[in-house]
A and B are shown apart, each in its own frame.
Chain A
Amino acid sequence: MGCGVTKSNQLRLKPCDRGNISVPAMRAALLIQRWYRQYVARLEMRRRCTWNVFQSIEYSGQQDHIKLYNFFSYLMDHFSSANSQRNLVSQMFGESDLFQDAEWERHFCYKDIEVPDVYAGPHLSFPLTISNVTELVDAFKNKQKLHARYVLQLLGKTWTLLRLMPNISHVCTCKHKEITICGDLHGHLEDLLLIFYKNGFPSAETPYVFNGDFVDRGKESIEILLVLFAFLLLYPHDVHLNRGNHEDHIVNLRYGFTKEVLGKYQVHGKMILKLLQKIFSWLPLATVIDQKVLILHGGISDKTDLNVIAKLDRHRFVSALRPLKRRGASARPKEAALEPDGDDEFSSVRRRVQSLTHGAPVRLRQELQRHSVHSESGRTGRSVEEELRERRRLAGLSLLSESDCAEVLEADADDWKQIVDVLWSDPMSQNGCVPNEVRGGGCYWGPDVTQEVLDRHKLQLLIRSHECKQEGYEFCHNGRVLTIFSASNYYDVGSNRGAYIRLGPDLIPHFKQFQASRSTRDLTLRQSVGRTERSALQALRMQLFAHKSALIREFQEYDPQCTGLISLKHWAVAVEKVLRLGLPWRVLRSQLVSGSTQDGTLNYHDWVNQLSVIQPNTEIANTSLLETLYKHHSNLESIFRMIDTDHSGLISFEEFHQTWKLLSSHLQTDISDKAISDLAESIDFNKDGSIDINEFMEAFRLVEHSRAEMEAPPSPD
């Protein structure tokens, strides 16, 4: 786009060759071209910066979530049931999930749910017909909701169907068909409808593969699922769904799907979510076309083995974030070792284990910091199994006869790793395979691994999704890995296009790109860059605000004489040190720092105060708690939703208290009981002593919106 290279010998002016064009005109053209290309390059720089901001924040959020989850796992694995925190966590994980499938089927029965006469939405009858499904799609286009009865019926049938499917679907283009492959949709129904509009509905003539991440982030995740499942039921041989890392109830707690379902289905939401948990675990893991093209959501690692993947019990991995519950009818062996009956010897073991909580997670946190994936010597980078083994060792599990459990655990760990790698990994340009510490799960794998794994399985191409790409698709690893992403405007309006692939018997991918929302297409380049940029900056300001205290402390390091001033150079260094997002702060500086500079110095107190968003209505006495709230509001919300096991949307004061205690344990900061009670008092608890999760979180989300409104951009050029 203007910054490429053109043949140089054509560029020298040859006046004699041009009949009626004067030299000055040629010079003028050259000048205009030169100028315009510089202008576009500057915009491109801004766009790329904005992109990096969004991506950093996204991945750091994901990393956060996984760290939180690992913390809970650790609690589960190493604390006895005498520990209240551990019990709270075990409640969240639904460890009492012992029903058989048949019992579950009774539980999910839709038959008693009546559809009232006033219901104006679509009615489904089974077996589904094409007109049923088109009616469903139209209904969703008109923002209607499918009644819970039909939802459960549809999901129930989907579950039954998926249980018959193998882990890896094999498809062929032998009937001279072209297969359409779509990437992440993330609740963007508009994009799915656009694809269907441009490419046609799924059918025997138009087979599709949907490569995971159907839900979260966008607001119409359940609609997407229902449409995809409906087409799956209609054409089970021609529609193929792969599981993505977001087809995971633990991830859904944080990224919006759980909330969406509970909001849309207040009475039956919980049941729907439970059934979806099962469905997600039964989604196939990969699709192979003509034995030559492998399609899966995240990627591979050097240990990826399709034969192992084909044989494992995929449905046992309800969440890819959690290793399996131990097999066997009896209580978990580890627990037996750690659960004394008042025996002194054992209680000392327990004490030792407890202190280890404060050991291992810190290390884990340090290891999970985002840093270069360039392989340097002396770099720690534990594989998942190594980490598991280390934790167990630290917990003094040598007490047990590990050989008994070892075999079972080992196989489980291998299977688990295969799945995590498939769902979470990202490609990198260097050779090798290292843990994906930016996301917190899976690997970064290099071109040598691609070659080895593909050759070993006699495959020629790997198609994956998982990463947003500006043009909707991107090749890497010498054209052997192709990323396809179908949610346009993912980070914000105008941030990227979506794309899908058409693949015929020649197995050469053809791309179709699109971008939802008319208004984006009509914006000029500059307007759309400007818009996305404002949004990214807003997100960044929130991050900065959340780290206010730490920032001030860091600035003060550079201001020993307490002048209140700091050089812009030091500003950049300090900000990176605190936020650790790896962003080019100097380039971003002009957007984040305005007005407070004279002669290259900044009054940092003023600047930090200027970042302040509007205070929420609640009076929060303790400011450090407010900051913790901002900084960790996603974690807080995740914990709330996990605690709220009956999905009522309400938590009691006691649970509220427990949440903060858990959070403080995880963060290793001190949050005093008094601070928590003060906070609780200032919040409007309901008469029965519970608070509404949504209301609580909303109080802080409103703040983000009002600020954005305050800073409404000037009218577009």
Chain B
Amino acid sequence: MFVKFIEIHNFLLSENIITETQKRISNAFDVFDHESNKTVDVREIGTIIRSLGCFPSEADLHDIIAELEEEEPTGFVRYEKFLPTMTKILLERKFRPITEDLLLQAFEVLDQQKKGHLEPEELTKYLTQEGEPFTQEEMDEMLSAAVDPDKNVILYRDFVSMMTFDDTR
């Protein structure tokens, strides 16, 4: 009896969740729909997906975009295709957020000498040569926020807390 109640409750809740989710997706999509014709430039898809709280890698994005594109790529993605794909991503909670702890650990791994900070050159080397490398522009931007201007090093502990502070948005 009780279980049934929970099931029904969950079902009703999920119906609601689906519409709420779709509204969120629709709103995020609309922000980039410059012509108000339910299409966005394919190059904005990454931004839209990430702004909805997902943390895909570039490879993940590449796969998603391949799925979303038309047989003959127009450079645009239509909402009708985007919605089901994105709904699925959100409901399945794919590409989960990276927590503050995890992020801190990552910096600590890079800090092999356990100095408590990283040199700009060190970080630059890692991020522009490994993984899914940053462009020079991305690197410069991160450094402008991350490097302590007096000591000219990256105090990653502070950096991480400062950046994740914003997560309430």
A residues contacting B by CB (< 8 A) are 1-6, 8, 10-13, 18, 21, 24-42, 44-46, 48-49, 52, 371-374, 428-430, 524-526, 569, 582, 584-587, 590, 717
Contact = CB atoms under 8 A, between A and B. Distances in A.
A429 B107 contact: no
Contacts of B145: 524-526
A48 B103 contact: no
A374 B36 contact: yes
With most chain B CB atoms within 10 A of its CB, the pick from A37, A373, A569 is A37
A5 B137 contact: no
B81 interface: no
Interface of B: 23-24, 27-28, 30-32, 34-37, 43-51, 54-59, 61-63, 65, 98, 102-103, 105-107, 109-110, 112, 126-127, 130-135, 137-138, 141-142, 144-145, 162-163, 166, 169
Contacts of A584: 27-28, 30-31
A6 to B, nearest CB: 5
Given A2-B138, A42-B169, A45-B47, A30 B35 contact: no
Nearest to A35: B98
Given A4-B43, A42-B169, A25 B23 contact: no
A26 B141 contact: no
Given A29-B127, A45-B47, A52 B31 contact: yes
Contacts of A430: 35, 37
B131 A33 contact: yes
A428 B35 contact: yes
B43 A11 contact: no
Contacts of B61: 3, 5
Contacts of B49: 41
B110 A25 contact: yes
A28 B48 CA distance: 24
A160 B133 CA distance: 60
Given A29-B127, A30-B131, A38-B55, A48 B23 contact: no
Contacts of A18: 130
Contacts of B138: 1-2, 36-37, 40
Contact of A24 (B27, B54, B109, B166): B109
19 contacts: A3-B45, A13-B131, A26-B131, A27-B106, A28-B110, A30-B130, A31-B98, A32-B103, A32-B106, A33-B57, A33-B132, A35-B98, A38-B55, A41-B49, A45-B48, A428-B35, A430-B35, A525-B145, A569-B23
A10 B43 CA distance: 20
A29 B131 contact: yes
Contact of A29 (B46, B51, B126): B126
Nearest to B24: A586
A322 B14 CA distance: 57
Contacts of B36: 371-374, 582
A2 B43 CA distance: 10
A2 B50 CA distance: 11
B57 A30 contact: yes
Nearest to B56: A34
Chain B interface helix/strand/loop/mixed: helix
A11 B131 CA distance: 6
Given A26-B130, A33-B131, A45-B28, A6 B62 contact: yes
Contacts of A587: 27-28, 31
Contacts of A373: 35-37
A4 B106 contact: no
A8 B46 contact: no
Contacts of B23: 569, 586
B50 A8 contact: no
Nearest to B108: A28
A470 to B, nearest CB: 12
Contacts of A1: 135, 137-138
Nearest to A21: B130
A48 B36 CA distance: 15
Nearest to B49: A41
Contacts of A11: 57-59, 131-132
A139 to B, nearest CB: 37
A513 to B, nearest CB: 13
Contact of B102 (A6, A31, A48, A717): A31
B167 to A, nearest CB: 9
Contacts of A4: 43, 46, 58
A29 B125 CA distance: 10
Nearest to A37: B50
A637 B141 CA distance: 43
Nearest to B145: A524
B50 A372 contact: no
B106 A36 contact: no
A-B pairs with the 5 shortest C-beta distances? A3-B46, A41-B50, A30-B131, A45-B51, A28-B106
A33 B37 CA distance: 33
B55 A35 contact: yes
A2 B55 CA distance: 12
A55 to B, nearest CB: 10
Nearest to B50: A41
Contact of B134 (A33, A46, A49, A372): A33
